[in-house]
Amino acid sequence: MIVLDRVRKAFGPIVAVDDISFSVKKGEVLGFIGPNGAGKTTTMRILASLIRPDSGKASINGHDVTTASLDARRFLGYMPENTPLYGEMTVMSFLFFLCEVRGVQREERQKEIDRVVQICSLQDVYYQTIETLSKGFRKRVGLAQTLVGDPPVLILDEPTDGLDPNQKQDVRTAIRVMAPDKAIIVSTHILEELESLCTRSIVINRGKIVFDASPLELKEQGEGRIEDSFANLTRGDR
């Protein structure tokens, strides 16, 4: 459902993504990790049709993200690290607006909103304006907007960043519930999430993939510690 084939992207002399290839199938939750500046966000922005690759191809559900970007985006829910929200809108009005944008039929909109509100536990803030919400609830609204329309592909950039332990657990549970029916990429700096959430892990460093296997194999490579394995794969002298 997600395919990248020899994708490259440079910004002037800096090569952010360097000839990477991978695919993600339905039912997979891919943990996409790497140090700051490794190329994670650039890769996800390419998949979301926000920037064009210099070379190579990427597709969502069979649709090229460059030549058929509108078709590709119909199958994608993308949650950037800092999700843009309209603070003056209530959660309810924001989700209704998104239903309209994503083409949810009028008679189905309330049912769809009820579904994402339940998944993201937004019942208690449904009528509040977004600007009055805590960071944790704003993060949940960001996840909810990603899920509107029930897209089969999800790309989530740091979905639990800044949340308290209970909120982290709620978001992880929501992702696990959805996982069997979707192809999901989760970018995270929280290495424990790989074991608790992901079926597969890719480590990217300096624009290149340096590891692609299960979280268990990543852990074993570090002699039982994912942190050690990650450090060995991404240290500066590599």
Residues 100, 134 share a domain:
yes
Structure tokens at 2: 């997600």
Quote the CA–CA distance of 124 and 140 in Å, as a whole number.
12
**What value does the mean pLDDT take over residues 125-150?**
94
Provide the residue range defining the domain that includes 140. 84-149
Which residue in 95, 125, 130 sits closest to 113, CA to CA?
Answer: 95
Residues 158, 71 share a domain:
yes
Quote the CA–CA distance of 29 and 226 in Å, as a whole number.
17
Domain harbouring 211, CATH code:
3.40.50.300
Residues 214, 187 share a domain:
yes
Torsions phi, psi for 168 (to 5 deg): -55, -45
pLDDT band at 112 (very low <50, low <70, confident <90, very high): very high
User: Which of 32-36, 112-116, 154-158, 225-229 bottoms out in mean pLDDT, i.e. has the lowest?
Assistant: 225-229
Q: Secondary structure of 5-25 in the HEC alphabet?
A: EEEEEEECCEEEEEEEEEEEC
Q: The pTM is what?
A: 0.92
Residues 213, 155 share a domain:
yes
Overall domain count for the chain: 2
Q: Could you read off the pLDDT of 174-232 as tens digits, one per residue?
A: 899 899 999 999 998 888 888 889 999 999 999 999 999 999 999 888 777 888 999 99
**pLDDT over 70 for what percent of the chain?**
99
Q: Could you read off the pLDDT of 59-97 as tens digits, one per residue?
A: 999 999 999 999 999 999 999 988 889 999 999 999 999
Environment class of residue 207 by beta-carbon count within 10 Å: exposed (0-12), middle (13-18) or buried (19+)?
Answer: buried
Residues 203, 94 share a domain:
no
Residues 70, 162 share a domain:
yes
Mean pLDDT of the chain, nearest integer: 93
Residues 162, 126 share a domain:
no
Contacts with 189 (C-beta within 8 Å, 6 or more apart), sequence order: 33, 158, 161
Question: Residue 238 pLDDT > 80, yes or no?
Answer: no
Residues 178, 90 share a domain:
no
* The domain boundary residue, chosen from 132, 149, 166: 149
* The domain boundary residue, chosen from 99, 114, 149: 149
Residues 219, 162 share a domain:
yes
Query: DSSP H helical segments within 182-237, as ranges?
Result: 192-197, 215-221, 226-234
Residues 155, 229 share a domain:
yes
